Amino acid sequence: MTRRSSSVTIRDVARQADVSVATVSRYLNQNATVSEELSSRIQQVMDDLDYVPQATARQLALRKKHTIGLLLTNMNRDFFAPLLAGIEGVVSEEGYNLLVATCRSYVKPEYQLPLGSHNTDGLLVFADSLTDEQIAQFHARNLPLVLIHKTPANGLNVPFVTVENKAASRKLVDHLITVHGCRRIVLMRGPEQQEDSYWREVGYKAALALHGIPFDENLTLRGSFEREIAYNAMKAFLDRPDHPPFDAVFAGDDDAAIGVYEALKEVGLCIPTDVRVVGFDDSRMAPFLTPPLTTVRAPTEQVGRLAAQQLFTLLDGHRLPEQATVLSTEMIARESCGCHNQPETL
């Protein structure tokens, strides 16, 4: 259990960091040089112990690093390119540096976080890269935070920027049912415990219920919003001689849709003649796939830009008028669902 800062002394920090009290004092007061390695170690211990002595709190707050941190779950998906572009544009305009690191909330508790108050002035936190507890700890230490594609835990006043998932997914699946007559639609679930994945599944189920189609767990696979994982899941499904019949796939996102395309083509199934496929995000690759992918257009670059702008508002000492920013999305119908050659916004 993390000790309360009121019961932690400078000696506790020195002991855990394996340095002298004088070294910690020099680091706090900046009256002598402390190596980068020792500074990082001391600050990490202070973060772990939740230790910020009141006498130096104001001074610490004034130590601007002119650096913003961005925590991502991974950087393997095409999805992240426009998000990074939006964030980097604002950070550059403000004359700051951007540190990017990957982290997943399910890693061992003793894992040292790569970004925090020891090397950034504020953090942008994507989806499930941190646990609710870790977010609450950063917030309690007054490190400015903005969450991306994640809502804060109840009672935690942390701003967030995300997109509308539920209604868009419902509309996408409803389109498959009403326009193309699909009844057996495979759902590629995203990462476990990720909100985008949850709300897209809620939208999928809502569309089925609207048309009296029972939800079938046997038609759900785990694609994790990654093409290789989606490919392997779809391939394993197709390799089963007793797999349930299906006429469409909601891939969860466009990266997963690429994996679905490959698996279907390997077994000789034609899109959209044999199976209709839809995605989510409208990535840069979506219009250039064969056939072009029907998907939901999400303003990913705008999400990154707004999140960064909000973080700088907090850094300037201002409050945000709203905690929640939810951007609208729209369906883009292309050939993969059986629609016309010209894309349509629906």
- Tokens, residue 282: 């409208």
**225 backbone dihedrals φ, ψ, rounded to 5°:** 60, 30
The confidence band for 203, taking pLDDT boundaries of 50, 70 and 90, is: very high
Averaged pLDDT score across all residues of the chain: 89
Which sign, positive or negative, has the C-alpha torsion 43, 35, 70, 144?
Answer: positive
What percent of the chain shows pLDDT beyond 90?
Answer: 68
Gap between the Cα atoms of 182 and 174, Å rounded: 9
Of residues 47 and 341, the one with the higher pLDDT is 47
Of residues 122 and 346, the one with the higher pLDDT is 122
Give the helix ranges, DSSP H, for 141-291.
166-178, 195-210, 227-239, 254-266
Q: Tell me the pLDDT tens digit for each residue of 273-329.
A: 999 999 999 999 999 999 999 999 999 999 999 999 999 999 999 989 899 999 999
Beta bridge partners of 295: 332
Residues of the chain with CATH 3.40.50.2300: 67-162+301-327, 166-298+330-345
SS3 for 39? helix
Provide mean pLDDT across the span 165-169: 98
According to the model, what pLDDT value does residue 105 have? Answer: 62
Gap between the Cα atoms of 335 and 7, Å rounded: 64
According to the model, what pLDDT value does residue 35 have? Answer: 79
Q: Tell me the pLDDT tens digit for each residue of 128-159.
A: 999 898 899 888 888 999 999 999 998 799 99
Residues 97 and 68: beta-carbon distance below 8 Å? yes
Q: Tell me the pLDDT tens digit for each residue of 69-83.
A: 999 998 888 899 999
Closest CA to 87 of 100, 104, 103: 100
Beta bridge partners of 102: 72
According to the model, what pLDDT value does residue 341 have? Answer: 58
Gap between the Cα atoms of 64 and 118, Å rounded: 11
The confidence band for 343, taking pLDDT boundaries of 50, 70 and 90, is: low
Closest CA to 218 of 197, 236, 200, 237: 237
Provide mean pLDDT across the span 91-107: 86
Q: Tell me the pLDDT tens digit for each residue of 2-39.
A: 444 457 888 888 899 999 888 887 777 655 567 778 88
pTM attached to this predicted model? 0.80
Gap between the Cα atoms of 235 and 237, Å rounded: 5
Of residues 123 and 46, the one with the higher pLDDT is 123
**188 backbone dihedrals φ, ψ, rounded to 5°:** -90, 105
Provide mean pLDDT across the span 235-241: 97
Gap between the Cα atoms of 17 and 21, Å rounded: 10
The H or E element spanning position 135 is helix 132-140
Residues of the chain with CATH 1.10.260.40: 5-58
Assign a CATH topology to domain 67-162+301-327: Rossmann fold (3.40.50)
Of residues 107 and 52, the one with the higher pLDDT is 52
Beta bridge partners of 125: 71, 147
According to the model, what pLDDT value does residue 5 have? Answer: 46
Which string of DSSP letters, residue by residue, matches 81-108? HHHHHHHHHHHHHTT-EEEEEE--TTS-
According to the model, what pLDDT value does residue 100 have? Answer: 96
According to the model, what pLDDT value does residue 56 have? Answer: 46
Residues 118 and 43: beta-carbon distance below 8 Å? yes
Residue 15 neighbours by CB under 8 Å, 6+ apart: none
Closest CA to 247 of 213, 288, 206: 213
Give the other-Cβ count within 10 Å of 295's Cβ. Answer: 30
CATH (residue range 166-298+330-345): 3.40.50.2300
According to the model, what pLDDT value does residue 264 have? Answer: 98
Evaluate whether the domain defined by 5-58 bears CATH number 1.10.260.40.
yes
The confidence band for 59, taking pLDDT boundaries of 50, 70 and 90, is: very low
According to the model, what pLDDT value does residue 39 have? Answer: 80
Of residues 9 and 221, the one with the higher pLDDT is 221
According to the model, what pLDDT value does residue 247 have? Answer: 98
Of residues 65 and 290, the one with the higher pLDDT is 290
Of residues 61 and 256, the one with the higher pLDDT is 256
